[in-house]
Amino acid sequence: MHCATCETFLESAATTIDGVSDASSSYVTDTVRIDHDPDQVSKADLQEEISGLGYSAYSRDDTFRRRRANNWEMGRVAVGVLMGMSVMLQYLVIIYPTYFGGLFYGDRVTEFFESALASSVATPFYVVIAALTTIILAVTGKPILQGAYVSVRTRSPNMDLLVAIAAVSAYLYSTLSIVFGDKHIYYDVTVAIIVIVTVGNYYESSIKQAATERLSDLTSIRVDEARRVHATGEYEDIAVEDLETDDRVVVRAGERVPVDGQIIDGDAAIDEAVVTGESLPVRKTVGDAVVGCSMVTDGAVTVRVGDDATSSLDRISELVWDLQSGSHGIQKLADKLATIFVPVVLALAVLVTGVHLLLGTGVYSLLIGLTVLIVSCPCALGLATPLAVAAGIRDALERSIVVFDDSIFERIRGAETVIFDKTGTLTTGEMTVTETDLETSLLEKASRLEERSSHPVGKAIAAERSGFDGGAAESASDADATADRVDAFDSYRNGVTGIVDGDEIIVGHPDLFRDQGWDVPAHITDRITNSRDTGRIPVAVGCNGTAEGVIVVGDELRPTWDETVASISDDGKDVVVLTGDDARAAQQFREHDAIDDVFAGVPPEGKAETVKRFNNTGRTVMVGDGTNDAPALAAADLGIALGGGTAMAADAADVALVDDDLASVDTVFELARATNRRVKGNIAWAFCYNAIAIPLAILNLLNPLFAALAMAGSSLLVVTNSTRPLLSDDQ
């Protein structure tokens, strides 16, 4: 899309097509979403209709069409730059000497070129310049002309309209001058305007494109095939979309559940974090519900397919698409100003031309009016926002922050509430041993026993072995020898048992100890209860008939979480924590002075709804990392995803913190404020230039050439200002 007015134009044009019931478009993500009846109009027909309006419409997952559209855009820029250099070279060598006289070239040189251009031999020379300029205007300037057309159709004046009028006016004046024998041509003005604005817009669009490119990877963790069980007991691998309600599918350790359903046989530890955000795997057995795309980490189950034969991830994906493709209603500041600036400049040019005609200036009245248009051409104003935003994105990248949506620097202003997901955001999202009271020898035996378990808690305990006997530095032969010292191993739904170095070891829930007839002292039971109250997983460890200690496994807090939430609170913003975990896991956040509210046990849809409720009271920022956070990230005014999060979270977010440093959230706010200051500074200069240059043009103190040079100079100043760093090196 060329500008925010394209949103209105595409929506109105799409709804006039037979079979289309509704359409919504977003300039932010270059997306139009069309609800249609496939029996009346196909997707291919819709793409053809939209493309016929002057756009290049394609499905968001059509990488070939996207690449081709990008190549066309790059080709237009290349045509403008290369042919523009050819035109400007001829101006510098031949035409400008006649304009500047003896000021730079000497009188004899000037007389030579004037006589050469006045002769009939010069006609092909003018034709070549006219032809090159025509190509530049038609090919490179096509998006600008299209934007102007949309502006007229929607009756919403924008910067494209004024740029197009200035460029086309200079082109038509020069062409008529050649026809009527006047050798004063201003094709250089047309070339300069088109090329400067096109290069600036291309720079901006390359940034915007990141918002849609990564969104095509939403299905990266979906399940494509399922193992269906027939009544005869035979297995059949089929596509997930062919599953029907009440079909039975088998899911083994290391595999994802294909669709939502209910367990009818077996039991397993299931990690549902991808959908629910729950940080700890849940042991499930017959009668328990399971969600699609959750991971079976230990055991195997047979699942009966639910009513809709779909997965929760599918519904989350659909919710993300809905939120992403909807319009944010954001317009560039330059386009907002254009609704006033453009009509005023056009009226002024017409008025100036009429006054000079009345004063008897004759044909030069048109030249004066053209000069007003050229000097008013908002190249600097049009570049003020995208180049300042580009500077913000550049500085963000230097700090390992990736910005997917260039509108964030406007949307983040005035944010009142910052909402943090807990698991994977305020915490690391990885299971680790947080504390233990075991002696080193018993901890080593427990870790060696758990090496044979595939449960995430067991893996966290097994990881403790890296501190024993050289740990990770062990040779392969040493590892084999160690493994041989585990003489027996059995896995249960609530723990593991085995014989290590001749000792009988149990690691698991106290119920497993009681089932095996072992003793569990009261102080062990009390410690387990206290650890559960903090939201962590306590595991009892016993040797030869008695529980001797506890290993506590949990999701560790990020080192900088405390400072980050405190800094945001000190900045006058409300801090809210959302989590799919139960209330016990969120208790420590309720007690933190900088956190205003905590919502526990919140499912993905609930997170998005919670964010929307906060949206009603002010602007919101959502910080998350998991797939289950994607709807909430998309629903917020600004979504920030940590780099360690899933692809879907990054797709739904506006910003990704690549280095996984929570402290970078503060940097995002700093960059947004600095970028807005830079935008305002650029726009202030652009208007200051117009305030000086337009009166000079009205008084006929500028000709079109000097007007074009002044316009180019103001644009150069904006570009130079935008190259300066936004933040100091220590920020």
Per-residue pLDDT band for 263 (boundaries 50, 70, 90) equals very high
Residue 421 is a catalytic residue: yes
No. of helices (H) and no. of strands (E), the chain: 28, 22
The answer to which of 234-248, 456-470, 515-529, 553-567 has the lowest mean pLDDT is: 456-470
Residues 290 and 192 in one domain: no
The answer to which of 159-168, 412-421, 466-475, 544-553 has the lowest mean pLDDT is: 466-475
Asked if the model's pLDDT at residue 608 lies above 80, the reply is yes
> Going by C-beta distance under 8 Å and a sequence separation of 6 or more, which residues neighbour residue 122?
116, 183
Q: Tokens standing for 110?
A: 């000037």
Which residue among 537, 556, 575 closes a domain? 556
Q: Tell me, yes or no, whether 372 lies in a domain.
A: no
Q: Provide the pLDDT for residue 730.
A: 58
Per-residue pLDDT band for 95 (boundaries 50, 70, 90) equals confident
Residues 244 and 119 in one domain: no
Q: Tell me, yes or no, whether 468 lies in a domain.
A: yes
- Distance CA(482)–CA(650), nearest Å, equals 42
Residues 101 and 183 in one domain: yes
Give the bridge partners for 618, in sequence order. none
Q: If we measure between CA atoms, which residue out of 44, 74, 68, 41 comes closest to residue 56?
A: 68
Q: Provide the pLDDT for residue 205.
A: 64
What DSSP string describes 323-355?
Answer: HHHS------HHHHHHHHHHHHHHHHHHHHHHH
Q: Provide the pLDDT for residue 106.
A: 56
The answer to which of 123-137, 220-234, 351-365, 464-478 has the lowest mean pLDDT is: 464-478
Q: Tokens standing for 597?
A: 């509210």
Q: Provide the pLDDT for residue 480.
A: 46
Residue 620: CB atoms within 10 Å:
27
What DSSP string describes 214-277?
Answer: GGGGTTTT---EEEEE-TTS-EEEEEGGG--TT-EEEEETT-B--SSEEEEEEEEEEE-HHHH-
Per-residue pLDDT band for 249 (boundaries 50, 70, 90) equals very high
Per-residue pLDDT band for 377 (boundaries 50, 70, 90) equals low
Residues 202 and 338 in one domain: yes
Query: Is the whole model's pTM more than 0.85, yes or no?
Result: no
Q: Provide the pLDDT for residue 507.
A: 94
Which residue in the list 160, 421, 654, 660 is annotated as catalytic? 421
Q: Provide the pLDDT for residue 103.
A: 52
Domain with 40 in it: what CATH number? 3.30.70.100
For residues 285-309, average pLDDT? 83
Q: Tell me, yes or no, whether 27 lies in a domain.
A: yes
Per 3-state DSSP, the chain is made up of helix, strand and coil in percentages (nearest 5) of 55, 20, 25
Residues 153 and 205 in one domain: yes
pLDDT digits (tens, 9 = 90+) for 546-605: 999 999 888 778 888 889 899 889 888 999 999 877 777 778 888 889 999 999 888 777
Q: Tell me, yes or no, whether 726 lies in a domain.
A: no
Domain with 657 in it: what CATH number? 3.40.50.1000
Q: Tell me, yes or no, whether 682 lies in a domain.
A: no
**How large a percentage of the chain has pLDDT more than 70?**
78
Range of the domain at 655: 404-427+557-663
Q: Tell me, yes or no, whether 390 lies in a domain.
A: no
Per-residue pLDDT band for 59 (boundaries 50, 70, 90) equals confident
Residues 92 and 173 in one domain: yes
675 and 726 in contact (C-beta within 8 Å)? yes
Residues 280 and 420 in one domain: no
Per-residue pLDDT band for 140 (boundaries 50, 70, 90) equals very high
Residues 70 and 196 in one domain: yes
Name the domain count of the chain.
5
Q: Provide the pLDDT for residue 323.
A: 46
436 and 549 in contact (C-beta within 8 Å)? yes
Q: Provide the pLDDT for residue 476.
A: 39
Q: Provide the pLDDT for residue 700.
A: 81
Query: Residue 576 in 3-state DSSP?
Result: strand
Q: Provide the pLDDT for residue 20.
A: 93
35 and 43 in contact (C-beta within 8 Å)? no
Residues 86 and 204 in one domain: yes
pLDDT digits (tens, 9 = 90+) for 432-470: 888 888 888 899 999 999 888 877 788 888 888 765 554
The answer to which of 32-46, 96-110, 509-523, 574-588 has the lowest mean pLDDT is: 96-110
Q: Provide the pLDDT for residue 327.
A: 42
Q: Tell me, yes or no, whether 13 lies in a domain.
A: yes
Q: Which residue has the higher pLDDT, 277 or 604?
A: 604
For residues 364-373, average pLDDT? 80
Q: Provide the pLDDT for residue 359.
A: 83
Residues 540 and 562 in one domain: no
Residue appearing with tokens 């291919």: 44
**Alpha-carbon distances, residue 731 vs 389, 396, 558, 670 (angstroms):** 18, 11, 20, 8
Identity of the residue numbered 195: V
Q: Provide the pLDDT for residue 477.
A: 42
Per-residue pLDDT band for 137 (boundaries 50, 70, 90) equals very high
Q: Provide the pLDDT for residue 131.
A: 93
Q: Provide the pLDDT for residue 99.
A: 64
Residue appearing with tokens 């050798």: 183
Which residue among 275, 310, 345 closes a domain? 310
Annotate 79-137 with three-state secondary structure: HHHHHHHHHHHHHHHHHHHHHHHHHCCCHHHHHHHHHHHHCHHHHHHHHHHHHHHHHHH
- Distance CA(580)–CA(710), nearest Å, equals 59
Q: Provide the pLDDT for residue 276.
A: 56
What's the whole-number average pLDDT of the chain? 78
Asked if the model's pLDDT at residue 181 lies above 60, the reply is yes
- Distance CA(30)–CA(49), nearest Å, equals 17
Q: Provide the pLDDT for residue 478.
A: 46
> Going by C-beta distance under 8 Å and a sequence separation of 6 or more, which residues neighbour residue 342?
157, 158, 159, 161, 162
Which residue among 530, 556, 582 closes a domain? 556
Domain with 447 in it: what CATH number? 3.40.1110.10
Per-residue pLDDT band for 148 (boundaries 50, 70, 90) equals confident
Q: Tell me, yes or no, whether 443 lies in a domain.
A: yes
Domain with 275 in it: what CATH number? 2.70.150.10
The answer to which of 197-206, 309-318, 398-407, 544-553 has the lowest mean pLDDT is: 309-318
Residues 289 and 434 in one domain: no
Q: Which residue has the higher pLDDT, 240 or 481?
A: 240
Residues 135 and 261 in one domain: no
